[in-house]
Amino acid sequence: MADISRTLTLNRASIEDAHKLTKPHIHLTPVLTSTTLSDLASTPQAPEALNGTENEGRRPARPKVKLFFKCENYQRAGAFKSRGAFHALTRLSREELKKGVVTHSSGNHAQALALAARTYEIPAYIVMPTISTPSKIAATKGYGAEVIFSGSTSQEREAVVEEVIKKTGATLVPPYDHPNIVLGQGTMGLELESQVADMIAANPSIGIHANAQAEHDGVNGVNGVNGHSRKRTELDAVITPCGGGGMLSGNAIAFSDTDTLVFGAEPSFEGADDARRGLAANSRIETVKTLTIADGLRTPVGKIPWSIISDKDKVRGIYSVSEEQIKKAMRLVMERMKVFVEPSAVVGLAVCLYNEEFRSLVEENAGEEGWNLGVVLSGGNTTLEAVSKLFQVSEDNAERAEGVLGRDGERVAENVAG
């Protein structure tokens, strides 16, 4: 990859520059709203849902939010990763491009870099863990990349990458730990800010601050951290998934000069919440080995993203959720919003719905008025077969859910107009 000393400064202006370069290659993904999900996120959890947690016996939080979903599952190659991959290639020299590119990825960055390489008509060598989702392996090969398999830890993957570089001279395009990747991922933040502003301008009632809009007119900025002026936006906060940290840190930079607060979300299964634990210990955790269903987040935060994420002025906090909570959020997005997503995509929503610490923070900071909250749905690279396994139920329950059993338990033919 390009020498870090030759890369742009990690600031909003650099993200704006990255956006100009990548616009011809990426989609302007939609921002969707859901009254149902906003209402659910604004409803206190049942007291029994807190049993067995540190919040047992406490009054459930009563946050008030309007959710705005940035749907990166509709991005090219099915996930946000195309932003960083295309930006990285725009920064390579002709000589570097000729020798091709190499990376290690569990799937989404693999597909994104393979697509970008095909666009530039250069070779792509992708190192993938043997536990990668089969559909992601197939898609990566479908874009014309050569796939090489490795172990599942970042150290095992990086060792194979080094072998490929020695053999081919290809340039490493890491999945998250490079300024050009971080800046590319941050372009979604610029879009989200602009899209939500346009949506609320066209229909103020969809925002939480409709009644306070007159007070905002003519106000260009607010006092931020350390007294610095920050640009006022319609978004009070944004939450993104966090794996290697490229997306979270990129969004943190994009919103760093605004009054929008940025949060991260992780799965907790088998220590996948390394960023949250690292913040608590004030030290980056370098190794993660987990089989969380959120397979795109099975990696530790990189050094460069960590330098942003560990800055409390840029990222206000990271929260984690269980596998069951991820599945519940995924079901809601698919059944209520009719949007096809992978498990990694919904960890931010799961935090909004089920993480009591985060929900209490929103209630405390947003007060009676509430927050406009941006939620990044990071990707949709999964299959019907994989989804069906996640939600597999007994035959009896499945039949009843489909209405093929009568009220008295008798098997009947369903012939009711829908």
Pick the catalytic residue: 106, 249, 268, 310? 106
Report how far residue 329's alpha carbon sits from residue 352's, in angstroms, rounded to the nearest whole number.
10
Report how far residue 378's alpha carbon sits from residue 178's, in angstroms, rounded to the nearest whole number.
19
Is there a contact between 177 and 301 (Cβ–Cβ < 8 Å)? no
Is there a contact between 316 and 261 (Cβ–Cβ < 8 Å)? yes
Query: Nearest 5 degrees, angle CA 10-CA 319-CA 105?
Result: 60
Cβ neighbours of residue 192 under 8 Å, at least 6 residues apart?
A: 31, 68, 70, 235, 238, 374, 376
Which structure tokens are listed for 247? 């997306």
Which structure tokens are listed for 413? 């033919």
Query: Nearest 5 degrees, angle CA 414-CA 415-CA 416?
Result: 105
154 is catalytic: no
Pick the catalytic residue: 64, 81, 136, 314? 81
Pick from 381, 13, 28: which is nearest to 188 by CA? 28
Cβ neighbours of residue 307 under 8 Å, at least 6 residues apart?
A: 249
81 is catalytic: yes
Polymer length of the chain: 418
Show which residues are catalytic.
81, 106
